[in-house]
Amino acid sequence: MRLNELSPAPGSTKSRKRVGRGIGSGLGKTSGKGHKGANSRSGAKRNSRFEGGQMPLQRRLPRLKGMARGRHTVARPKNYAPVNLSDLAEMSGDTIGLDELRTAGLVRKNANLVKILGNGEVGRAISVQAHAFSATAQEKIEAAGGKVEILES
C-alpha cells in the first residue's frame, strides 16, 4: 500500500451539487437563486458593511472629533524585576550589581530594570546597585552600614 494509491471506499463520498443542470436535478433554471434581483445575477457580491438598507453602523455612531486622527502614545509603566533583601543576604561579596544578580540567577538575562524590595534582613554592610529601591529596603541596607546606588533607567 502506498500513499498515492489510497482512495475512499466506494460510495462513501458524496458527489458535488451541479446547479443549473435541468429540472430533474432540483436546482435547475434559476439555480436556487430565486427570480431577478441583484443576488440572482452572476458576480453578485454584497458589501460586507451593507445592512439591508438599515442605517449602517458607521453612520449610527457619533464622530470622534480629534481622537480618531493622529498618533496617541500611552505612557506604559516600567516593569521592574523584583529582588528581595533576603536573596541579597545569601549572596557573597561586598558589592552587588546587575551582573552579580544575573549570575546568581535572581534576575533574568533580558531584564532591563531591577528593584530591590525590603522583604528580609541584611546581616552585613553591602553596596547595592539597582534601578529602584523600596523605602524599607533602602533603610535596612543603610542601617546595616551599607550603601545604596541608584542606576539610570
- For residues 104 and 136, is the Cβ–Cβ distance under 8 A? no
Q: What is the pLDDT of residues 98-148, one digit of tens each?
A: 999 999 999 998 888 999 999 999 989 999 999 999 999 999 999 999 999
Give the pLDDT band of residue 11 (cuts 50, 70, 90). confident
d(CA 132, CA 114): 7
Question: For residue 41, what are the CA distances in angstroms to 47, 48, 52, 133?
Answer: 15, 18, 17, 72
Q: Which three cell numbers stand for residue 152?
A: 539610570
- Cα dihedral 101, 102, 103, 108, rounded to 10, equals 130
118 contacts: CB under 8 Å, gap ≥ 6: 84, 85, 134, 135, 136, 137, 138, 139, 140
Q: What is the pLDDT of residues 47-89, one digit of tens each?
A: 888 898 999 998 998 887 665 566 667 788 889 999 999 999 9
d(CA 47, CA 53): 12
User: Domains of the chain, with CATH numbers?
Assistant: 18-63 (no CATH), 80-150 (3.100.10.10)
Residue 49 has phi, psi (to 5 degrees) of: -90, -5
d(CA 140, CA 118): 7
